[in-house]
Structure 1
Amino acid sequence: MAVRSAAFAALIETDPLRKCALVAALTAGAVDPLPPDCDWHRVPGRPARPPLVRPRDVPRRGLGSAQGRAALVHAVAHIEFNAINLALDAVCRFDGLPDAFYADWISVAQDEARHFCMLRERLLQLGYEYGDLPAHNGLWEAAEKTAGDALVRMALVPRVLEARGLDVTPGIIARLREIGDTPTLARLEVILAEEVRHVAIGTRWFRHLCAERGLEPASTFRALLDAHGVRLHPPLNRAARFEAGFVDAELS
């Protein structure tokens, strides 16, 4: 099957493990136009659980208890599940980009699927399954708001929402180290290292699209933040952000 059609089949799959298997099987191939009868009402494919609630209604628990650590792992697993769909959606949603764009985002989807499986394994060790706890839909809502323009998607999803993980994850890892939860922190260390590449891919294609449109990237990024009412919340992991392609003018 051509690559975008195969990605769409994975995008609409509702079972998390089947979705991960479909993503793992994706390979580089002909970058096909999607057929006009694709059912976008089925996007994104996700299971009936977890129940989706407002962000402020997601329970907050400390990491000192097993239940609190399970809540953390569940929350990150939900982020990674959404990130699978976000990467697949970038492959399927945006037409007319270089073949390397689609290859990049397929590779991201495969990383995110592997991250999800790592976290689900840890969640099972803690006595829970993905879907057992409530979650919120903020990441996918951002996908919907940026569906009309690849440049806006690249600016506001990988370079804002996913980059936020670069800022907050080191503190979570430090706290897990303090309490001796090595199995969880080891997984988060893998995810943190690989998310730098994902944000860098967002940077690469944001700059590519800016160049196509004759736009200066740093000022365009700041203008998009202002236009969408988004701000970068300190403290920022500047070292990781610079590695992912940010420049000082975007972070000041």
Structure 2
Amino acid sequence: MLPLRRLPPLPLPLPHGPARRRLFATAASASATAASPLPWPGLHAWRRAPPSDLRTWGPHGPCASPDADEAEASEAEASAPSSLAEMGALVLYTSDPLAKARLTHAAFSRWIAGLPVGLAGAPNHPARPNKPIVVTQKEITTHKQMGVPLNAYMLHMLAHVELNAIDLAWDTVVRFSPLRDTLGDDFFADFARVADDESRHFRWYSQRLAELGFSYGDMPVHNLLWRECAKSSSDVSARLAVIPLVQEARGLDAGPRLVQKLLGFGDHRSADIVTKVAEEELAHVSVGLHWFLKVCQMMGHVPDATFRDLIKEHDVVLKGPFNYPARDEAGIPREWYEEKLKHETPSKLSEVHDRLARIVEMEKENPSLNG
């Protein structure tokens, strides 16, 4: 294990305050106290897969996009910058959601073809369209109050999650591009692939919304997801803890309940999309865990103590119920989040995934599912 002072010239950003002191105090006993989590068995195949062109949801599941969409992607690719980080920055500065998704796919395809990582700066906040209207969490109302069907309401919120996920992955690539010599190309390859997955998920949700007579932007959203990203903008270990191991893991927790709600509503097509997205989130959580462990190793930190300290320091909420089988498959040790939950106090911060999962409870007083 390399001591911190012998890392390459661009050192990893370190946690500040109590977490930093505890990490150095416990580093010496890392090998004796921290068991290595088992990786997700599908991670190797996920990394080796070519860019997926299955960006449309057909009658029987994912299928290739129409030629018009591919032409737009080719046009975006032809005029794109000359490095992965610069292309990621271009995505972040692009406000149109579908253009953001197309540019993402073009960027990842060019990366696979040999584009270098490069160097770029990330904006404080990604560009967004004029709609949807951004409100506070308390101002988000139920689907009945909005007068929209439950399935459209859920899909719009999930599309918002995926749009943020595209930008979260690119922000990780761009913001930490100065650490390329320390982290290595594989780090950026993994998160560019995550961005591409998320862009495909956004396309599926957008398509399904259109089939229901809606589009992304028709309903208000809140900005809590990006606030979590901002908390971890100066520390790569915090970014990995907060985003893949908390936010994306919540998608694993909520997925089965959302699928059951859509099936109860009678929307099997939307349920199939949510099922597929939840399956693919396993890779994102697993790759986040892989790099969190890698960074802890480089910095000489105990992974489980580091995770709990970072979550506490950045005021991130861990909430059940947990989908233990999915989390186990992704490789997150239960003691990382169960021990923290025992001491967690209620917080005003609530994620979109949690809100959607609670829709089941909101509907109990009214047995009608056709609101």
Q: TM-score range by the shorter chain?
A: over 0.9
- Work out the CA distance in 2 between the residues paired with 1:209 and 1:49: 38
Aligned length: 246
Question: How far off its partner does 1:80 sit?
Answer: 0.2
> Is the contact made by 2:151 and 2:265 (CA closer than 8 Å) also made in structure 1?
no
Residues 47-196 of structure 1 aligned to structure 2 (within 5 Å): 47-61=129-143, 67-94=149-176, 95-96=178-179, 97-196=183-282
- Work out the CA distance in 1 between the residues paired with 2:225 and 2:86: 23
Question: Please, what TM-score do these two structures have when normalized by structure 2?
Answer: 0.64
Q: What residue identity is the alignment partner of 2:320?
A: P
- The structure that has the greater radius of gyration is 2
Question: How far off its partner does 1:101 sit?
Answer: 0.8
1:40 aligns with 2:123: yes
Which structure has more RCO (C-alpha within 8 Å, separation ≥ 6)? 2
- Work out the CA distance in 2 between the residues paired with 1:68 and 1:178: 11
Identity, % of aligned positions: 37
Say which structure is richer in helix: 1
Question: How far off its partner does 1:179 sit?
Answer: 2.6
Cross-structure match for 1:7 = 88
> Is the contact made by 2:159 and 2:202 (CA closer than 8 Å) also made in structure 1?
yes
In the superposition, relative to structure 1, how do residues 98 and 50 fare at CA in structure 2: closer, same or farther (>3 Å)? same
> Is the contact made by 2:156 and 2:216 (CA closer than 8 Å) also made in structure 1?
yes
- Work out the CA distance in 1 between the residues paired with 2:334 and 2:230: 29
In the superposition, relative to structure 1, how do residues 30 and 103 fare at CA in structure 2: closer, same or farther (>3 Å)? same
Unaligned runs of 5+ in 2: 1-81, 339-371
Q: What residue identity is the alignment partner of 2:133?
A: P
- Work out the CA distance in 2 between the residues paired with 1:200 and 1:39: 25
- The range that moved more, 222-231 or 46-55, is 222-231
Cross-structure match for 2:286 = 200
Question: How far off its partner does 1:136 sit?
Answer: 0.8
Q: What residue identity is the alignment partner of 1:10?
A: V
- Work out the CA distance in 2 between the residues paired with 1:107 and 1:75: 23
Look up the SS of the partner of 1:167 in the other structure.
helix
- Work out the CA distance in 1 between the residues paired with 2:197 and 2:262: 23
Of residues 296, 303, 313, the one that matches 1:210 is 296
Q: What residue identity is the alignment partner of 1:78?
A: H
> Is the contact made by 1:52 and 1:137 (CA closer than 8 Å) also made in structure 2?
yes
Question: How far off its partner does 1:39 sit?
Answer: 7.1
CA deviations 1:117-140 (Å, max 9, x no partner) are 100111111111110100011111
Look up the SS of the partner of 2:149 in the other structure.
helix
Question: How far off its partner does 1:66 sit?
Answer: 5.8
Question: How far off its partner does 1:87 sit?
Answer: 0.4
Question: Please, what TM-score do these two structures have when normalized by structure 1?
Answer: 0.93
Cross-structure match for 1:231 = 317
Q: What residue identity is the alignment partner of 1:227?
A: E
Question: How far off its partner does 1:200 sit?
Answer: 0.9
> Is the contact made by 1:159 and 1:199 (CA closer than 8 Å) also made in structure 2?
yes
Residues 21-36 of structure 1 aligned to structure 2 (within 5 Å): 21-26=102-107, 27-28=110-111, 29-34=115-120
